[in-house]
């Protein structure tokens, strides 16, 4: 079937990652799902971003089978697949090892909502997962990574905070499209850098007042949003 549309969207998003500063070496990947077809396209494992072409994107079904492509898919494919199973409104997933977000993940610290830049994108703190157990690590590691992400969102809406910090590992972000998912991954890294500098200047800083947080989030994402153009 070729799935040209998601191949092209996936390839373009992966090729964007180096320009955003979100990746070093080949530490990152983007996937894009076609819900109607029940498959997603994802970056092939270990291939440099500048060398990527749409035809190299690997097509994987929601059971984990490679249905098109001659290259091995990203080793993180099961994590993406797990998120697609549960977060049914997302259309794309981005995983990076962006440096400031990784610092929070390694410190086992949620990214706090300290300012309006953060609340323009995330409705509150970006959660950090728990550490995985030895049994989870030695089992289906990448699938279990997806499960601890889902666990971190129990009772909350992943579309209102479209990112997570995996303990000791790094960030995942998502959106309705690959473009939006990369945008959220970049916003996460920017907010992480701002938070680190803010905390360095004032270790006793408190989170943004709820009224201001809600104002900024809802004017951009609420049902009566008025940010941007119609």
The pairing of strands 170-175 and 92-96 is: antiparallel
Q: Are residues 30 and 174 in contact, defined by beta-carbon separation less than 8 angstroms?
A: no
Q: Are residues 165 and 110 in contact, defined by beta-carbon separation less than 8 angstroms?
A: yes
> Active site residue: 24, 89, 157, 227, which one?
227
d(CA 150, CA 129): 9
> Active site residue: 61, 120, 125, 140, which one?
120
Q: Are residues 100 and 196 in contact, defined by beta-carbon separation less than 8 angstroms?
A: yes
Pick the closest to residue 84 from 22, 12, 169, 176 (CA basis): 176
- Whether 120 is catalytic is yes
Count the neighbouring beta carbons within 10 Å of the beta carbon of residue 211. Answer: 8
- Whether 141 is catalytic is no
- Which residues are the active-site residues? 120, 227
């Amino acid at each position: 079937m070729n799935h040209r549309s998601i191949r092209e969207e996936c390839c373009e998003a992966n090729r964007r990652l180096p320009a955003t500063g979100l990746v070093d070496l080949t530490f990152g990947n983007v996937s894009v799902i076609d819900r109607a077809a029940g498959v997603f396209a994802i970056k092939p494992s270990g291939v440099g971003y500048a060398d990527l072409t749409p035809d190299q994107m690997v097509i994987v079904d929601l059971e984990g089978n490679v249905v098109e492509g001659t290259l091995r898919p990203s080793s993180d494919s099961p994590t993406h697949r797990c998120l697609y199973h549960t977060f049914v409104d997302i259309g794309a997933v981005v995983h990076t090892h962006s440096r400031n977000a990784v610092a929070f993940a390694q410190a086992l610290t949620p990214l706090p909502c300290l300012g309006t830049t953060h609340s323009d994108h995330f409705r509150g703190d970006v959660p950090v997962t728990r550490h995985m157990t030895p049994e989870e690590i030695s089992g289906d590691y990448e699938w279990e990574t997806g499960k601890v992400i889902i666990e971190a969102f129990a009772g909350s809406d992943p579309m209102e905070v479209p990112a997570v910090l995996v303990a000791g590992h790094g960030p995942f972000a998502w959106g309705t499209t690959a473009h939006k998912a990369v945008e959220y991954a970049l916003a996460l890294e920017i907010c992480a850098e701002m938070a680190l500098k803010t905390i360095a200047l004032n270790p006793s800083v408190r989170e943004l007042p709820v009224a201001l947080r809600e104002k900024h989030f809802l004017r951009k994402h609420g049902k009566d949003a008025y940010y941007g153009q119609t």
